[in-house]
Homo-oligomer: A and B are copies of this chain.
C-alpha cells in the first residue's frame, strides 16, 4: 500500500470491471470490496472514489439508483450500455499495459 502512485490512472478501470462483475454496488461498498480483494494492498480513498463515480455518471457510463437501507441513503451504481462497451475497451487497454510493463521490467524472465 505504499505504491499508490502506480494505481493512478487505473481507478476507473477497476470500478468498471467490478460493476460488471457484481451487477451493482454503492460507493462505500466498492472501497471495502477492493480492499478485501487486494488483501489491503489497494485502499481507494473516498476523496478519489466519489468524484470519479460522479464523472462516470456524467459521461453516461454509469447509472444510479437511490435506496434507503437501515435509514441510510445508498447510491447504487451500475453500468449503462455505453458503460459495458467502455469496460471492454478499458480492459483491453489494461491487458496491453500489463503486458507491456512486464515486457519492460523483466525481459530476462521472458527470454
Q: Hey, which chain B residues are within 8 Å of A66, CB to CB? A: none
Encode A67-111 as 1/0 by CB contact (under 8 A) with B.
000000000000000000000000101111110111111010000
- CA separation between A77 and B8, bound complex, in Å? 26
Q: Tell me whether A3 is interfacial, beta carbon within 8 Å.
A: yes
Total identical chains: 2
Number of interface residues of A (CB under 8 A): 30
Question: A6–B94 contact, CB under 8 A?
Answer: yes
Question: B94–A98 contact, CB under 8 A?
Answer: no
For residue A49, give the distance in angstroms from its CB to the closest CB of chain B.
15
Q: Tell me whether A13 is interfacial, beta carbon within 8 Å.
A: yes
For residue A39, give the distance in angstroms from its CB to the closest CB of chain B.
8
